[in-house]
Structure 1
Amino acid sequence: MGLRTFFRSLSPSRKSFLTQIDNSTWIIGNGLWNVTQGRQYATKLWYKEKDLVGNAVGHYVSYNGAASDLNWTSAAIVESGDNYINVKFSAIEGDFHWVIYDNLAGAYQYFVNRALPVLGEFRTLWRLDNVSFPNGRTNVKDGPLPPISDYLAGTNVQDETWQKADGTFLTKYDWSAFTKDLDFHGVYGDNFGSWYLNPGKDYFNGNHLKQELMIHRESKTGDAVQLNMIHGTHYQALSRDPFADGKTWGPWLWYLNDGSKDDATRRANKEDKAWPYSWFKESSFQSRGSIKGKLVLSDGRPASGAAVFLGDSNSNLTALDQGKDYYYTVYADKNGNFNIKDVRTGTYGLQAWSNGDALADVTTSFLQNDIIVTQDKTNNLRTLKWTVTDRKNRIFQVGAFDRKTTGFKLSGPTPYEHARIAKCPANLTYTIGVSQSEDWCFGQTALGTWSIVFPFSSKKTTASAAKLTVSLAGFSGGSSASILLNEAKVGNITTNSALLPSSQDTYRGATRAGEWHLLEFPIAKESLKEGTNQIDFKVTTSTLWRGWLWDSILLEWV
């Protein structure tokens, strides 16, 4: 009997099944597909009469990059119904589930923690046959994955990044995306598509600006890689979290089809409407409520379009760095109203910050802890007052406060491109009242000086001091700058500063956002002079492709 006949014979009907071959090999699937699960890797993915793994690695679960793959010690059907089975694979660290419906090409998956260590990265993934899956798709990038021949012919210039003979670059980080904005992602060809559909997203770490690598071409083997970074750190400085026994990631849907993106879109919409899944009976998953409220600034304006984040209560971590529990993100409407639905019951901290536009001048954030979400009830927080500074005290502002590089030169159109920061000039002069936001480049790295020239008159204020606020949308350590006012140093942007932990945003080609930092420097009134003044950001140390992403720069009276 040939292999193909053998695997076909495992399930003559469409019924879902688990078959144990020996103490470290199992086969799961239904009449549409099946896969052979070994101690670490799932291979021989049969679908439409073809093995879609082939010579690739297959499916596995790992943490801290590829350092630790989970080893499965047992498998069992732990739940079943008329048209499905729930297969649990157990490892020391926890349990990985495949919920297989009889007529579904693919399976719902989720992981329940038992003994994972404190970690930064935790993922599931497929490494698939590169002939069957030549293309990749996220919500921001769609097209052919680079052939392995391009990697072999290129020059490796940093991790997973190569320079081609024509001077351009190819890097796996071009296939990243903001996790909260993602509808679905995967790899596909003319006859096959393999997709991840993550409708809930509350089990992902981080806030609105959380980014992750989604797919790529494996540079050594050519495998088509489909990542499910359910706890990731690719664009962060710090994200190492402990997890309680029972912490659950998922469920999400791994979905197979004929390569149709339209079909995947329809299926993703269907999954979104079904969330939270009624079939997933785990009690804490089903125990949900909601919160709503209205954010109003202390100057009377509604917090129109504000980014609203529900996360850990009384945490000393930023919203981006939180990751041990469950997290929810929305944007307020034009009147400052927000409504967060389907929230797991528990106690949360609520944060909000400017998303630009009507709040482009708002430097402060809103925070309220100890917010309780009760099952099947809505906690109405009513009107929440958000303290902001007086706009009348502004001397000048460059860029909008939104924790992104919005409006600056070269910040678009795509959010990822290796070495784009090197296209920004070494020297730049921006004149208040004359220059526009697009005259300021999105990131700074090269040795040189960027200057802001502005007028000042002491007759316009009775204030005795000022404050310079420097808001960075991201920072990759290796480059530093002195901040000068009329040639006198008032501060710096410094590698290895406790205020600036280094993340991998500019290093990995991010152009829109990374890990946000707010720096504030006191300015004595006597440091300003009548007439024309100048603030300089003078780069004193430069490392190629490492530097900072700009959000906004503000000088104001205090």
Structure 2
Amino acid sequence: MENMSRRGKAASFFVWLAMVVLLFFLLTACAEKTPVRKILRDGSKAVPSSLAVQLQSISHEQVVIDNGLVQVTFSRPEGDVIGINYNDIDNVLEARNELNNRGYWDVVWYEPGNIGTYDKLQSTNFTIISQDENQVEVSFSRTWTLSNRGIQVPLNVDKRYIVRRGISGLYVYAIMERLEGWPDVDMDQIRVVFKLKEDMFHYMAISDSRQRIMPMPEDRNTGFALAYPEAVLLTNPTNPELRGEVDDKYQYSCEDKDNRVHGWIASDQGVGFWLITPSDEFRVAGPNKQDLTSHVGPTTLGMFTSTHYAGKEIDTKYRNGEPWKKVFGPVFIYLNSISAQEEEEIPTLWDDAKEQMLLQVESWPYDFIKSDDFPSKEQRGSVSGQLLVHDRYINERNMWAQSAYVGLAPPGDAGSWQRDSKGYQFWTQADNRGNFVIENVRAGNYSLYAWVPGIIGDYKYYNDISITEGCEIVLDILVYEPPRNGPTLWEIGYPDRTAAEYFVPDPYPTLMNQLYNDQADKFRQYGLWERYADIYRHNDLIFLVGVDDYSQHWFYAHVTRNKGNKTYQATTWQIKFDLENLFNFGNYTLQLALASATDSELQVRFNDEKAYPAHFTTGLIGKDNAIARHGIHGLYRLYCIEVPSYQLHNGNNTIYLTQSRALGTFQGVMYDYIRFEGPTET
């Protein structure tokens, strides 16, 4: 019996062992069929996040910082990022480029009367700001002297880089300063640039709906140049599927309020490279300012100052020895990877980049910056309140300023924030009841501004606001009374500071970007301005109030007419409307809001197309260039035009809108909103 028991136990053991082996093979087979979707932020080596940050080496020519996740190499003393080692890739930057053409800062600048040039801000001094097992921060700086006048932009520059423990990336910021009495200068663009490996990064992502496989740089070189250098028709691309498409970096522009994360994916390696901007405080011209993101290169940009979609009306001029100092950034360069290198895994990298962006936004202002010029959360203040709108022709009672954009910016007139490039700005969007909280505001003096979707004009609080360390300012209820002289007789469009609601035509089939086939972003297609002459071959646009639908019958841009042989013709649009019971006293009002203007003069006439001078003219306005750059808006302009009753008729009336400047293709305006008001009711 004892031997029988032993044999039974042995049999049971072998059965158990066989089941374990079978289970092992089953699990292995499943693992082979199911790719692992987990993001490996530490690359493929599973490096412990507790690994200390090391200032690995310092030589006369290079500085190397390593945290086990990324290894970053800088040129010394210039301070360019010349190498990023990640996930067994020796360098995700384009190593074939010169050292100062991989990861670098630059400024477009000029002294008045001179031609603009690039300064790549090559530094002359290297300093270790902080160094321990949790963080290394280094500085590459230079000091401007009068002997450098005409050679370097007159700025003291301190470029800072931070590598942190357990963080898969690099923090980048710069402190720029000009001292009192320094030469006059214009600085039209300030940015940081990263150029990635051309043979590796082919997939670009800007938003959930704007991402795609991109052309190669050589595809642009072999393509057909279009109306301006940035736009190229791809005739013989490396990827045949892109043949016949247009590539233009301005098609990938984005409003700053929406520009939080963008970058590239190397699909074969399962690696993503992302530029995350956690705050807009150091950007210019408010939340609606548009700027570049990523484009063919593969290139990723952190744009801090530019005249794109605004022109020189953005105040980038420094005159009469004006002193100035500003911290740009930090922005975060984030790298991530996936274990399964399959095309369907690409969304995983993008989704993870968005999650990382949210983490960075929540962490703002960062508490690890080692510069006295970057205030901590405790050193900042906040402003809160509620904004209402009072327009008695809409509602006798105050209305909530739903979804209003409310911000603090340097003191100025109402709306001046959209032309400011020198100070800091802090914006938020109010809730459905107009409640707002503006947090993490640097100490200083500001004006409080606002604009409300659906309401014309700009609001400004009557007092300037002084932010001090730790303050929590709670304002009384604010009431905005928008421009209004009388009841609405008719209106065209919706007041949201864009022309997006108007008729955007289909692009030419031979000049398309397949990314923008959907209706929402169709305005980003190339060449839409030329469609005006196709649709209105013999006569200009005529809009019948009460009959026509502005989404179908109001062209998105009031452009010139191309007559051929490089000649252009001014165009005149007509608004026809009936007016019953004309008042013979008082004035009517035409509220005319423009979403953009480029080298334009809009003349307005009432019932007399030949009236000279015009009953109203804007004069020469605008350098937005939003028509060519697919922007749907530039700077906002509002004109309140009084119309004496003697210029109107009982019955049929016509308003003539003439864009009178016609030297080129891209002169024109975009309308935001037009409203015709009756005389004031007493």
2:366 matches 1:277: yes
Q: Which residue does the alignment assign to 2:556?
A: 442
Q: Deviations over 1:233-290 (max 9, x none)?
A: 2111222055856521122211112271122112111111111112235455121111
2:670 matches 1:549: yes
Report the Cα distance in structure 1 between the residues aligned to 2:132 and 2:289, rounded to whole angstroms. 37
Q: Deviations over 1:125-182 (max 9, x none)?
A: 1011112211222126211222234312222421312235587532111111111112
Q: Which residue does the alignment assign to 2:651?
A: 531
How far is the alpha carbon of 1:216 from its aligned partner? 1.0
Query: Is contact 2:386-2:436 (8 Å) kept?
Result: yes
Q: Which residue does the alignment assign to 2:389?
A: 297
- Go from structure 1 to structure 2 and tell me whether the alpha carbon gap of 1:539 and 1:345 turns closer, same or farther (over 3 Å shift): closer
2:291 matches 1:212: yes
Q: Which residue does the alignment assign to 1:476?
A: 598
Q: Which amino acid aligns with 2:575?
A: I
Q: Which residue does the alignment assign to 1:428?
A: 541
Q: Which residue does the alignment assign to 2:228?
A: 158
Report the Cα distance in structure 2 between the residues aligned to 1:296 and 1:160, rounded to whole angstroms. 44
2:559 matches 1:416: no
Query: Is contact 1:452-1:536 (8 Å) kept?
Result: yes
Q: Which amino acid aligns with 1:102?
A: R
2:259 matches 1:182: yes
How far is the alpha carbon of 1:14 from its aligned partner? 5.4
Q: Which residue does the alignment assign to 1:267?
A: 356
Q: Deviations over 1:383-441 (max 9, x none)?
A: 12222345752232111222112421129511633322333444222221222230322
Bigger shift: 408-417 or 343-352? Answer: 408-417
Report the Cα distance in structure 1 between the residues aligned to 2:370 and 2:258, rounded to whole angstroms. 27
Q: Which residue does the alignment assign to 1:112?
A: 175
Query: What RMSD in Å do the two structures reach over aligned CA positions?
Result: 2.6
Q: Which amino acid aligns with 1:225?
A: T
2:471 matches 1:377: yes
Q: Deviations over 1:174-208 (max 9, x none)?
A: 11111111231112221222111111221111112
Q: Could you say what secondary structure the match of 1:99 adopts?
A: strand
How far is the alpha carbon of 1:553 from its aligned partner? 1.3
Q: Which residue does the alignment assign to 1:514?
A: 634
Bigger shift: 311-320 or 62-71? Answer: 311-320
How far is the alpha carbon of 1:462 from its aligned partner? 6.2
Q: Could you say what secondary structure the match of 2:416 adopts?
A: coil
Q: Which amino acid aligns with 1:296?
A: L
Within-5 A mapping of 1:453-492: 453-459=576-582, 461=583, 463-477=585-599, 480-488=601-609, 489=611, 490-491=614-615
Q: Which amino acid aligns with 2:588?
A: A
Q: Deviations over 1:14-54 (max 9, x none)?
A: 533153321x4333343333343233643233222322222
- The sequence identity of aligned pairs, in percent, is 22
Q: Deviations over 1:281-335 (max 9, x none)?
A: 5455121111111222234222222222210113587222212121112222222
Q: Which residue does the alignment assign to 1:143?
A: 212
Query: Is contact 1:486-1:535 (8 Å) kept?
Result: yes
Q: Could you say what secondary structure the match of 1:204 adopts?
A: coil
Unaligned runs of 5+ in 1: 1-12, 218-222
Q: Deviations over 1:419-474 (max 9, x none)?
A: 22333444222221222230322211133432211111244x46422232321111
Report the Cα distance in structure 2 between the residues aligned to 1:21 and 1:481, rounded to whole angstroms. 61
Report the Cα distance in structure 2 between the residues aligned to 1:80 and 1:150, rounded to whole angstroms. 45
Q: Which amino acid aligns with 1:365?
A: Y
Report the Cα distance in structure 1 between the residues aligned to 2:359 and 2:258, rounded to whole angstroms. 17
Q: 1:55 aligns with which of 89, 96, 104?
A: 96
- Go from structure 1 to structure 2 and tell me whether the alpha carbon gap of 1:516 and 1:393 turns closer, same or farther (over 3 Å shift): same
Report the Cα distance in structure 2 between the residues aligned to 1:402 and 1:554, rounded to whole angstroms. 13
Query: Is contact 1:85-1:100 (8 Å) kept?
Result: yes
Report the Cα distance in structure 1 between the residues aligned to 2:227 and 2:573, rounded to whole angstroms. 27
Q: Could you say what secondary structure the match of 1:201 adopts?
A: coil
Query: Is contact 2:275-2:331 (8 Å) kept?
Result: yes
Q: Deviations over 1:471-503 (max 9, x none)?
A: 1111122x5554332134445666xx45x2322
Query: Is contact 2:63-2:73 (8 Å) kept?
Result: yes
Query: Is contact 1:14-1:32 (8 Å) kept?
Result: no
Report the Cα distance in structure 1 between the residues aligned to 2:233 and 2:81, rounded to whole angstroms. 33
2:163 matches 1:100: yes
Within-5 A mapping of 1:62-73: 62-64=106-108, 67-73=118-124
Query: Is contact 1:314-1:370 (8 Å) kept?
Result: no
2:290 matches 1:196: no
Report the Cα distance in structure 2 between the residues aligned to 1:517 and 1:390, rounded to whole angstroms. 16
Normalized per residue, the structure richer in helix is 2
Q: 1:388 aligns with which of 482, 506, 521?
A: 482
Q: Which amino acid aligns with 2:577?
A: F
- With the length of structure 2 as denominator, give the TM-score of the two structures: 0.72
Q: Deviations over 1:49-99 (max 9, x none)?
A: 322222233111100186111112122211133311111111233111111
Q: Which amino acid aligns with 1:231?
A: T
2:63 matches 1:26: yes
Q: Which residue does the alignment assign to 1:9?
A: none
- Go from structure 1 to structure 2 and tell me whether the alpha carbon gap of 1:115 and 1:199 turns closer, same or farther (over 3 Å shift): same
Report the Cα distance in structure 1 between the residues aligned to 2:287 and 2:627, rounded to whole angstroms. 18
Q: Which residue does the alignment assign to 1:6?
A: none
Q: Could you say what secondary structure the match of 1:247 adopts?
A: strand
Report the Cα distance in structure 2 between the residues aligned to 1:131 and 1:400, rounded to whole angstroms. 46
Report the Cα distance in structure 2 between the residues aligned to 1:428 and 1:248, rounded to whole angstroms. 48
- Size of the aligned set, in residue pairs, is 530
How far is the alpha carbon of 1:554 from its aligned partner? 1.9
- Go from structure 1 to structure 2 and tell me whether the alpha carbon gap of 1:241 and 1:541 turns closer, same or farther (over 3 Å shift): closer
Query: Is contact 1:176-1:416 (8 Å) kept?
Result: no
Report the Cα distance in structure 1 between the residues aligned to 2:280 and 2:451, rounded to whole angstroms. 21
Query: Is contact 1:112-1:247 (8 Å) kept?
Result: yes
Q: Which residue does the alignment assign to 2:31?
A: none
- Go from structure 1 to structure 2 and tell me whether the alpha carbon gap of 1:212 and 1:483 turns closer, same or farther (over 3 Å shift): same
Bigger shift: 393-402 or 223-232? Answer: 393-402
Unaligned runs of 5+ in 2: 1-50, 110-116, 144-155, 180-184, 236-242, 338-345, 393-397, 506-518, 562-570
Bigger shift: 526-535 or 427-436? Answer: 427-436
- With the length of structure 1 as denominator, give the TM-score of the two structures: 0.88
Report the Cα distance in structure 1 between the residues aligned to 2:192 and 2:223, rounded to whole angstroms. 30
